[in-house]
A and B are shown apart, each in its own frame.
Chain A
Amino acid sequence: MKGAEALLKAMEQEGVEVIFGHPGGAIMPTYDALYDSPIRHILVRHEQGGVHAATAYARASGKVGVVMATSGPGALNLVTGLADAYMDSTPVVAITGNVPRSLIGTDAFQEADVTGVTMPITKHNYLVQDVNDLPRVIKEAFYIARSGRPGPVLVDVPKDVQLAEFTGSFDVKLDLPGYKPTLRGHPRQIERALEALEKAERPVLMVGGGAQDAHAEILAFAEKTGIPVITTLMGLGAFPGTHPLWLGMPGMHGTVAANRAIYHADVILAVGLRFDDRVTGKVSRFAPHAHTIIHVDVDPAEIGKIVRTQVPIVGDARLVMRELLRGAKPLRLATWWRELEEWRTRHPLTYRPRPHLQSQEVIRAFYEATGGNAIVTTGVGQHQMFAAQFFRVSRPRSFLTSGGLGTMGVGLPFAIGAQVARPGELVIDFDGDGSFQMTLQELATVVKYKLPVKVVVLNNGFLGMVRQWQDLFHAKRYSEVYLADSNPDFARLAEAYGIRGVRVERKEDLKKGVDAVLETDGPVVAEFKVYQEEGVFPMIPSGASVEEMITEDPRQEVGA
């Protein structure tokens, strides 16, 4: 058996069913072996599309996503996607080819120091030097990727290693003496957390992306205690967005109720989140009244990194929530809820209706038409925030977006990965005209594998989010953000790929457009021409605190 076959066999042992990838010289032996392998391969048009698809596959399925690429340029095209997966703690294994061992370090054709380049953006990486190491390396790579705090792992395999005769064994034991994630929370800390919650008058439960699999425990805990729940962008779906205990999303574009709740809270229970600056705003003014912050995270390095923590609990969110649930008691929070209710009813998420079609109403229309029953992916920008605000996800692993890195262009490849992972489900990508154009060549992948994804391009003719900041903080000097003069006709572009194209320009046609998208069996690209100068509100300017929140579009007062 050749190294390439051993590589695939080792992956089969890890339960790999599908690989996203793009071939090339240095990975050809493995592609050759793939020809006879039961593992399915999805050919993407750009490696970045492959790694994003693998990321979404992992997030939608709970399994490890796998991407494969050739050496040098192929592997380097993975960089953004690996960084994205790293920031959002997603288990991805990337297999890259490399030049033969004898050429490593000689600036050979298509050579790059890929393990060096990806060191800071992977949880771990390997350069395989001995063909007989392949089963061990693959076993470790998958274990490291999915256990503890999940993350991407890269395995670089020189071409001659893929071609070498494998004489080793597949019966390998994990031996990682320096890697032992702590999964069970410390009982004393759990006790302290329960004590603090019991005495709390204004507690909140903050839920992040790391808690997606603890959704059942979180729901039970919230219902038992009556505690208000806030989900971060990455945590959306980990708690039902339709639940009366839900206050919304915190942070820069979060709800007034969520942000005020954190501001006035005396005890915060934070589960599986890392206090990103888009969530905290100015850290010194974050939760100034909280005497106790309980932080549950499987990665000890996250605890105390940004905010001071009185009760640190290192452990798996699900196991810790189970323990907390066991000791939880109903809390008396009537006064607190009266305050919360007032903020919630006085400042609901809303927008000023305009004569033009608006992104918010497009998203709301899709939400209503689907009853929220869809997996949503997004690009990055205003449309992403509108999707987070107006599409209420209620199931875990169903809102896939780039949180930590904020990578434009993930929308379509994320939709591809999600659709491959959950073929029977409706997958909608709410994309921006800017974001979509970063990876739209993956429409070819959609066609090739007949993936029925629905791409909804909210075309505002601008790099909208940047334009909004220029509007608010740069005296409307719209430097290099105008797209409308050069955007393609998105519907016709889709048709060029053989995909149904839909175009909606007027408010009156909204419903017809939404229906057209949802009634189509296969893939659709629907372009909604929306109001160009919309802003996302509420907004807390970067580095500011809740007190400086702009709750409504300031331009409205001047009669815009």
Chain B
Amino acid sequence: MRHVISVLVQDHPRVLNRITSLFARRGFNLESLAVGTTHVPGLSRISLVVSGDDRTLEQVEKQLNRLIEVLKVTDHSEPHVERELALVKVHVGGLEERLAIKDIQEAFRARVVDVAKESLILELTGDSNKINSFVEALRPFGLLEVMRTGAVAMSRGERVLKVREKREEAV
């Protein structure tokens, strides 16, 4: 099953390296990874899309938690918002095709961000399914380049991903 996991990390050098190396070494299947800073200086947030059974996912979470620089791990099984950004450069043959692409663009509420003689760059945000459908709709025109950021996710409502309280002072 597909899971979206958020990881709050200290943004030290090589922390991303530690996470990808962990996935490689333990044979976990990483579908996408997106990283960015947060509103708290020094903390970054990583969204991972992982597939596997419950047991694998439990291990993914536990192994991530073992990393010293990982502050918090959440598997978004609860209602959450998920978004991905895609840039699609599509071939445009003639006027007829330009109009057909415009219909698709409107249906998906995508934006045109670059216009050239024989191509267009379209920008779309949405969950991964929406982007998949968008890319498939454009495929017949001739895809020149497709670039996706990978999903980012956030829980709905009050739930927030923050550093847990100090539980125990180990000696």
Give A contacts to B, CB under 8 Å.
115-116, 119-120, 123-124, 127, 144, 147-148, 176-184, 299-301, 304-305
Please state if A301 and B170 are interface contacts (CB–CB under 8 Å): no
Chain B: CB-nearest residue to A316: B170
Please state if B63 and A301 are interface contacts (CB–CB under 8 Å): yes
Interchain CB contact (< 8 A) of A178 among B62, B68, B171:
B68
Interchain CB contact (< 8 A) of B170 among A124, A183, A299:
A183
Cα distance A305–B65 in the bound complex, in angstroms = 14
Given A120-B22, A147-B171, A301-B59, 5 other A-B contacts at CB below 8 A?
A: A119-B21, A177-B71, A178-B68, A183-B168, A300-B62
B103 interface contact, C-beta 8 A = no
Please state if A115 and B14 are interface contacts (CB–CB under 8 Å): yes
Chain B residues touching A, range: 20 to 34
Residues of the A chain whose Cβ atoms lie less than 8 Å from the Cβ of B17? 116, 119
Cα distance A246–B14 in the bound complex, in angstroms = 47
Please state if B170 and A178 are interface contacts (CB–CB under 8 Å): no
Residues of the A chain whose Cβ atoms lie less than 8 Å from the Cβ of B168? 180-184
Cα distance A182–B164 in the bound complex, in angstroms = 13
Residues of the A chain whose Cβ atoms lie less than 8 Å from the Cβ of B25? 120
Residues of the B chain whose Cβ atoms lie less than 8 Å from the Cβ of A181? 168, 170
B55 interface contact, C-beta 8 A = yes
Interchain CB contact (< 8 A) of B65 among A124, A127, A176, A301:
A301
Cα distance A300–B69 in the bound complex, in angstroms = 17
B70 interface contact, C-beta 8 A = yes
B157 interface contact, C-beta 8 A = no
- In the assembled complex, the CB of A120 is this many whole angstroms from the nearest CB of chain B, namely 5
B94 interface contact, C-beta 8 A = no
Which 3 residue pairs of A and B lie closest in terms of their CB atoms, listed nearest first? A301-B62, A178-B71, A124-B68
Cα distance A299–B70 in the bound complex, in angstroms = 15
Please state if B68 and A179 are interface contacts (CB–CB under 8 Å): yes
Contact flag A300-B170 (CB < 8 Å), given A120-B25, A177-B71: no
Please state if B170 and A304 are interface contacts (CB–CB under 8 Å): no
Would you call the interface of chain B mostly helix, strand, loop, or mixed?
mixed
- In the assembled complex, the CB of B68 is this many whole angstroms from the nearest CB of chain A, namely 5
Cα distance A179–B169 in the bound complex, in angstroms = 10
B18 interface contact, C-beta 8 A = yes
Residues of the A chain whose Cβ atoms lie less than 8 Å from the Cβ of B13? 127
Please state if A178 and B70 are interface contacts (CB–CB under 8 Å): yes
- In the assembled complex, the CB of B65 is this many whole angstroms from the nearest CB of chain A, namely 7
Q: List 8 A-B contacts (CB under 8 A).
A: A115-B14, A119-B17, A120-B22, A123-B68, A127-B13, A147-B171, A178-B70, A180-B168
Contact flag A177-B62 (CB < 8 Å), given A119-B18, A183-B168: no
Residues of the A chain whose Cβ atoms lie less than 8 Å from the Cβ of B63? 301
B39 interface contact, C-beta 8 A = no
Cα distance A116–B67 in the bound complex, in angstroms = 15
Cα distance A299–B22 in the bound complex, in angstroms = 16
Chain A: CB-nearest residue to B20: A119
Chain B: CB-nearest residue to A129: B13
Please state if B170 and A148 are interface contacts (CB–CB under 8 Å): yes
Please state if A180 and B167 are interface contacts (CB–CB under 8 Å): yes
Residues of the B chain whose Cβ atoms lie less than 8 Å from the Cβ of A300? 62, 65
Cα distance A256–B107 in the bound complex, in angstroms = 71
Residues of the B chain whose Cβ atoms lie less than 8 Å from the Cβ of A177? 10, 71, 163
Contact flag A147-B66 (CB < 8 Å), given A119-B21, A120-B21, A177-B163: no
In chain B, positions 52-93 with a C-beta closer than 8 Å to chain A are 55, 58-59, 62-63, 65-71
- In the assembled complex, the CB of B127 is this many whole angstroms from the nearest CB of chain A, namely 29
Please state if A178 and B67 are interface contacts (CB–CB under 8 Å): yes
Cα distance A178–B167 in the bound complex, in angstroms = 11
Please state if A176 and B21 are interface contacts (CB–CB under 8 Å): no
Cα distance A75–B3 in the bound complex, in angstroms = 39
Please state if A180 and B170 are interface contacts (CB–CB under 8 Å): yes
- In the assembled complex, the CB of B72 is this many whole angstroms from the nearest CB of chain A, namely 8
- In the assembled complex, the CB of B128 is this many whole angstroms from the nearest CB of chain A, namely 28
Cα distance A445–B62 in the bound complex, in angstroms = 42
Chain B: CB-nearest residue to A302: B62
In chain B, positions 131-171 with a C-beta closer than 8 Å to chain A are 163, 166-168, 170-171
Please state if A176 and B68 are interface contacts (CB–CB under 8 Å): yes
Cα distance A48–B18 in the bound complex, in angstroms = 24
Chain A: CB-nearest residue to B166: A180
- In the assembled complex, the CB of B59 is this many whole angstroms from the nearest CB of chain A, namely 6
Please state if A147 and B170 are interface contacts (CB–CB under 8 Å): yes
Please state if A178 and B69 are interface contacts (CB–CB under 8 Å): yes
Chain A: CB-nearest residue to B171: A147
Please state if B66 and A299 are interface contacts (CB–CB under 8 Å): yes
Cα distance A148–B169 in the bound complex, in angstroms = 11
Cα distance A491–B171 in the bound complex, in angstroms = 48
- In the assembled complex, the CB of B70 is this many whole angstroms from the nearest CB of chain A, namely 5
Residues of the B chain whose Cβ atoms lie less than 8 Å from the Cβ of A115? 14
Cα distance A304–B69 in the bound complex, in angstroms = 23
Q: Mark B15-52, 1 if CB is under 8 A from A, else 0.
A: 00110011001000000000000000000000000000
Chain B: CB-nearest residue to A125: B14
Q: Which of B14, B62, B68: most chain A CB closer than 10 A?
A: B68
- In the assembled complex, the CB of A11 is this many whole angstroms from the nearest CB of chain B, namely 19
- In the assembled complex, the CB of A449 is this many whole angstroms from the nearest CB of chain B, namely 33
- In the assembled complex, the CB of B120 is this many whole angstroms from the nearest CB of chain A, namely 40
Cα distance A180–B171 in the bound complex, in angstroms = 10
Cα distance A305–B66 in the bound complex, in angstroms = 14
Cα distance A338–B9 in the bound complex, in angstroms = 55
In chain B, positions 90-106 with a C-beta closer than 8 Å to chain A are none
Contact flag A182-B167 (CB < 8 Å), given A115-B14, A119-B21, A177-B10: yes
Chain A: CB-nearest residue to B8: A178
Q: Which of A124, A301, A305: most chain B CB closer than 10 A?
A: A301
- In the assembled complex, the CB of A285 is this many whole angstroms from the nearest CB of chain B, namely 18
Residues of the B chain whose Cβ atoms lie less than 8 Å from the Cβ of A123? 68
- In the assembled complex, the CB of B63 is this many whole angstroms from the nearest CB of chain A, namely 5
